[in-house]
Structure 1
Amino acid sequence: MLTVMQNSPLPLSPRSVIVRQAGTSLVHCLPAVATGIMVAMLSWYPGHCALMLIALPAAWSRLRGRMAGFAVWASYYLTGARDIPVVCERFFAGYNELAPPVGLSLGIAFWLLQAIVLALPWTLLKPGPAASAMSCAWRTALAALVVTIPPIGIIGWLSPLHVASALYPGWQLAGMAFGIAALCAVTMRQSSPAGWFACGLLAALSICAHGLWVPPAAPAQWMAVNTALGRFDQSRYPSLYKRTRQLRTIAHGAFASGASVVILPEEIAGLWRPAMALWWRTDIEHMRAAGQTLVIGVNLGVSTKPLRYTDSAVVTGAGRGRADSRQPVPAALWRPGGQTSAIRGDISEPYLTIAGRRAAMSLCYEDLLWWPHWRTLLDRPDVVISQSNGWFDADLALARIQQQGIRSVAQLAGAPLLRATNR
């Protein structure tokens, strides 16, 4: 009896149990973090392989514990959005709103917060070890939609739904539905016959989509012009006049080279003033007479106190039209309640008609999101036009990730992409 009692293991103290559980969680979190980082780098810049996004829900559904599920997604969002601190420092310091250290600190806070917010739905919806195939599927679909559409979708960059354009180019709404189904299928347990059947069917449909895919050509004589004019100082009239002269020269050169439609970057002309309309009047009259169309990024005033404006693309010359940004950059341009703020455009605004072609517009930050482009999933445009002003991020990975995002939208829509940027 005494020998048996001596050989029996001693009961663990509560503190020992907590330490052991923490060590077990850490062991599971380390490979989760490595997976999130790897997928972010392979899917986005520098990897540019959106198909790798399918590995995220596959790993997430099989990891043990919600902490590991949170780790895989948080590390993915932290890695993909790694430029936020530097962007905030440059942007707010560039406009003399914040000192560089303060802007950097604010950027770090935004960077950490966005990862937490975007990873939280995946954490709460993580399936348990005994979850059925259907439970895994609906949890995956719901989490993917929650992080892509508003309100969380306002910062819905790096959405796993970009896998749809990699798998089903040109298939629009059907392609998006099959893309969501693919994300769901890889979360089903390997022993599930339904999972194997779904994966096989979706793979066959993807092969069919790529077999039918023909990259669309941009309209003839349409030109998107990239500029290197830097930040626009709008505080003095000499600066306004200098920028106007630069843009007029660029437009003249593009039209002289044979273009009939010229696209300039977002916000490149700044806040539109009566003096600028006067400076452009002769050029606009000439363009109208010559059948030439200019698409230019401007800010249009709505009210003065508080200052409210729209971040807009204006069509002038032989054509007329206007599209407003449906989601200006949060904190940078869109500041509800602030003294100065861009206001959001109508989510239901129709396509612009430019030289007889229907154009879907994407203004800067919208390149990173899915929901402003809902119409492209239902009604294929003739062309997708992206205007961006990245004077603060042209040398960062963010600029290339932004370009990849809007290219993904255009690819799923089956439309050519024309993109004008300023750096």
Structure 2
Amino acid sequence: MTPDILARSRRRAFSALRAQSLPSIPARLRSPLLVAVSIVVGMVGWSGQVLALPVAIIFPALWAHSPSRLVAGLMSAGYFLAASRGLPQGVANFYAADVWSGLLLWIAASLAFMAVHTVLWAKRPEQGRPRRIALRYLAAMVLTGLPPFGITGWANPLTAAGVLFPGCGWWGLAATTTGLAMMTSRFWPAAVLALSGFWLWSAATWTQPDLPQAWQGVDLKYGVSLGRDASLERHRGLVAIVRALADDGTRFVVLPESALGFWTPTVKHLWQNGLQGTDLSVIAGAAVIDERGYVNVMVAISAHDAHVIYRERMPVPVSMWQPWRAWFGQDGGARANFFANPVVELSGTKIAALICYEQLIVWPALQSMLYSPDLIVATGNGWWTAGTSIAAIQQASATAWARLFAVPIVMAFNK
């Protein structure tokens, strides 16, 4: 057989495999269909139901089979915008503004995800080894999972590892990564079947992460007033809620983000006095003001001690984290403590703390898991997410990471 004949045979064989891996769809319909399906995948996978997260694993297959770079970009934007669809309403709630400001921020947040996947897309080769497609997707997944692109890296399909391989830890993460890479190859139908099997088994045997003994998270319904009402009555009311839990054998109580408002010596002494006569330790959200702005923190309080134990690594961009202020010589906004304090210790327990926005992105959770924490504490102040699925997505993501690494989790949210 001559080299020319051999090359033609290889091209025909590859074309046949490609035809089998992607159903024959008229060219004029393929692009709109891919974009439409990516939107559905984003909406269903990121609905706030933890068991729906594996739907997101379809995204790499759609991206890899995009017929052009333009379609890959549109499809990536559609997926991200659908996954983060609660953002316009959430921003409007936060700023008490019309929805247009939220729409602008929603589109801006999608640009990093769309840009990375657009630039790294490549046309599937008609001959040779298509392995580069998988490597390009893995590169895109890593880039959108780590800063700087990972700052707005919502909707990373890797989060589904906690549902597909609960309790498998880093091996489960590696298996999910391999499955996502296979989704970009001509073997994607086999990958779908394999991952679907793991998904069905997980759904049939699913249990929520354990709540550690003597720990209790407290959900509140104080709305926008939480953290802004600094009255003595508000603090006394929270102390009363906490003290009531001591009768049930609880020793550690977690309150939501911003529960204490500004952390001051007065608040510290008030809470320590309120906990006198108990063995309770309270972990609560607060804000520490300094000359440059403020830091979103968790504090630990008992009758004998009170101090900051965690400083948020990634506050919400724009609404809290505003780095451009420094460019113009201005102060204000929350400070990001990138990669700082991945775990903290309280009474001999190693804690991975995740405040609000940190639950939506990949790198804070994975960084913390590198240190083998004993417990995850996830808090949020979600009053501004009313009417959206954002808070539910936060909780689903945190739950998925806890199940993947078999780490107990305590959550406390304000609505």
Looking at structure 2, the residues matched to 405 and 216 of structure 1 have their Cα atoms a distance apart, in angstroms, of: 12
Please report the TM-score for the alignment, with normalisation by the length of structure 1. Answer: 0.81
Question: Aligned in 2, Cα 1:200/1:220: closer, same or farther, shift over 3 Å?
Answer: same
Q: Say what the alpha-carbon RMSD is for the aligned residues.
A: 2.9
Looking at structure 2, the residues matched to 58 and 165 of structure 1 have their Cα atoms a distance apart, in angstroms, of: 20
Match of 1:175 among 172, 175, 180: 172
Match of 1:332 among 319, 322, 336: 319
Task: Name the residue aligned to 1:11.
Answer: none
Match of 2:377 among 379, 385, 392: 385
Please show how residues 241-280 of structure 1 align to structure 2 within 5 Å. Answer: 241-280=232-271
Which of the two has higher C-alpha Rg?
1
Q: Secondary structure at the match of 1:242?
A: helix
Aligned length: 380
Looking at structure 2, the residues matched to 214 and 402 of structure 1 have their Cα atoms a distance apart, in angstroms, of: 18
Question: Aligned in 2, Cα 1:235/1:55: closer, same or farther, shift over 3 Å?
Answer: closer
Shift of 1:204: 8.8
- Opposite residue 150 of structure 2, the aligned amino acid is G
Match of 1:91 among 89, 94, 98: 94
Please report the TM-score for the alignment, with normalisation by the length of structure 2. Answer: 0.83
Question: Aligned in 2, Cα 1:31/1:213: closer, same or farther, shift over 3 Å?
Answer: closer
Task: Name the residue aligned to 2:42.
Answer: 40
Looking at structure 2, the residues matched to 311 and 374 of structure 1 have their Cα atoms a distance apart, in angstroms, of: 20
- Opposite residue 279 of structure 1, the aligned amino acid is L
**1:221 matched to 2:214:** yes
- Opposite residue 326 of structure 1, the aligned amino acid is R
Looking at structure 2, the residues matched to 115 and 272 of structure 1 have their Cα atoms a distance apart, in angstroms, of: 34
Conserved? CA contact 1:78–1:111, under 8 Å: yes
**1:152 matched to 2:152:** no
Conserved? CA contact 1:232–1:270, under 8 Å: no
Q: Secondary structure at the match of 2:224?
A: coil
Structure 1: gaps of 5 or more residues:
1-23, 94-99
Question: Aligned in 2, Cα 1:277/1:204: closer, same or farther, shift over 3 Å?
Answer: closer
**Cα deviation digits, residues 262-313 of structure 1 (max 9, x gap):** 1000111111123222322312443xxx32211111111222xx4x221111
Looking at structure 2, the residues matched to 84 and 216 of structure 1 have their Cα atoms a distance apart, in angstroms, of: 28
Structure 2: gaps of 5 or more residues:
1-25
- Opposite residue 293 of structure 1, the aligned amino acid is S
Task: Name the residue aligned to 2:73.
Answer: 70
Task: Name the residue aligned to 1:314.
Answer: 299
Task: Name the residue aligned to 2:107.
Answer: 112
Match of 2:136 among 139, 155, 180: 139
- What percentage of aligned pairs have identical amino acids? 26
Question: Aligned in 2, Cα 1:375/1:170: closer, same or farther, shift over 3 Å?
Answer: farther
Conserved? CA contact 1:387–1:421, under 8 Å: yes
Looking at structure 2, the residues matched to 210 and 235 of structure 1 have their Cα atoms a distance apart, in angstroms, of: 41
Shift of 1:84: 1.3
**Cα deviation digits, residues 26-45 of structure 1 (max 9, x gap):** 74332122111211122121
Conserved? CA contact 1:226–1:422, under 8 Å: yes
Larger relative contact order (CA 8 Å, sep ≥ 6): 2
Looking at structure 2, the residues matched to 167 and 74 of structure 1 have their Cα atoms a distance apart, in angstroms, of: 25
